[in-house]
Amino acid sequence: MNAVTANPNDVLLKVDHLSMKFGGLMAINDFSFEAKRGDITALIGPNGAGKTTVFNCITGFYKPTMGMISLHQKTGKEYLLERLPDFRITREAKVARTFQNIRLFSGLTVLENLLVAQHNKLMRASGYTILGLLGIGPYRSEAKNAIELARFWLEKADLIDRADDPAGDLPYGAQRRLEIARAMCTGPELLCLDEPAAGLNPRESLVLNEFLRSIRKDTGTSILLIEHDMSVVMEISDHVIVLEYGQKIADGTPEEVKNDPRVIAAYLGVEDEEVEEVIAEVEHLQEGEH
């Protein structure tokens, strides 16, 4: 197993000996990994391996049974996420997420969905008063900034032409990009995406890949994603971690992980003693392709 050890200054997220128990089920068992600042890190593994549970611990939906999750912001501030309520993880630690099932306001327009994401910022600018909302004080300029930011992300997500359409009318792939754009409007340091390519056709997957690459390149935002679509994982990730039955079985570059016998065995669901056989078969098939 190739552990990725980064310079401590480059580490954005550190998950240390994380365990999560549901009754008698150990869904996550002593799991540790690091995600580097500016990287796209993928968390993969067979169904039920514990990926979403890890996400839920990072984003505060679950409180882990054991372990530490620390987030180190660019400013040098450090947050222990397992101790924070979810709203503070979003607001202060600056972790944004999307879900396996799309959660947009489908009756609101595409633009409105991005403005709702900036609601907290706008309310603070209003001073929580009617006069503030009517444009006395910083609210007006903040509202203008919010629209500009929304337009910026609509352009990047290739949705600007649909700005005034109800979000529910968008094709599925476009709804996925809108969710990501909405998360980006909160200015996250870490963007957590739970199966962003689920249900996308190959063309939509390519557009998604481009969008995620441009987020990393243009904003430096770090991305942690759970994904089953290997064409997305292998194409865009800098670092891949593989979970099986709540435990880490591989950690490395996409290339390293792809050729790791334990990963091949986990995905094919074979017993340990059959792993060598599987690898020989995979190698044979690869030779045949060349």
Binding-site ranges for ligand ATP (CB under 6 A): 22, 25, 27, 45, 47-53
Please give the Cα distance from 155 to 173 (Å, whole number): 15
Which is nearer to ligand ATP, 53 or 90 (by Cβ)? 53
CA angle 218, 187, 126 (to 5 degrees): 140
Residue with smaller CB distance to ligand ATP, 62 or 153: 62
CB of 95 to ligand ATP, least distance (A): 18
Q: Smallest distance from the beta carbon of 18 to ligand ATP, in angstroms?
A: 12
Across the beta sheet with 11-22, what order do the strands follow? 25-36, 11-22, 66-72, 78-80
Residue 122 or 240: the one with the smaller Cβ distance to ligand ATP is 240
Which is closer to ligand ATP, CB of 12 or CB of 58?
Answer: 58
Run of H or E including 142: helix 139-156
Supply the minimum distance, in Å, between the C-beta of residue 48 and ligand ATP.
4
In angstroms, what is the minimal distance from the CB of 268 to ligand ATP?
A: 16
Alpha-carbon Rg for the chain, nearest whole angstrom, is 21
Looking at beta carbons only, is 152 or 267 nearer to ligand ATP? 267
Min separation Cβ 10 and ligand ATP, Å: 27
Nearer to ligand ATP, 51 or 94 (CB): 51
Q: Which residue, 48 or 261, has its beta carbon nearer to ligand ATP?
A: 48
Residues 6+ apart with CB under 8 A from 182: 104, 113, 114, 116, 117, 153
CB within 8 Å of 154: residues ≥ 6 apart: 110, 111, 114, 160, 163, 181
- Report the nearest approach of ligand ATP to the CB of residue 194 (Å): 8
Helix, strand, coil share (%) of the chain residues, nearest 5: 45, 25, 30
Which sign does the torsion angle of CA 194, 250, 215, 60 carry? positive
Phi, psi of 242 (to 5 degrees): -115, 130
For 71-93, letters b (16+ CB in 10 Å) and e give bbeeeeeebebbebeeeebbeeb
Residue 256: CB minimum distance to ligand ATP, A: 21
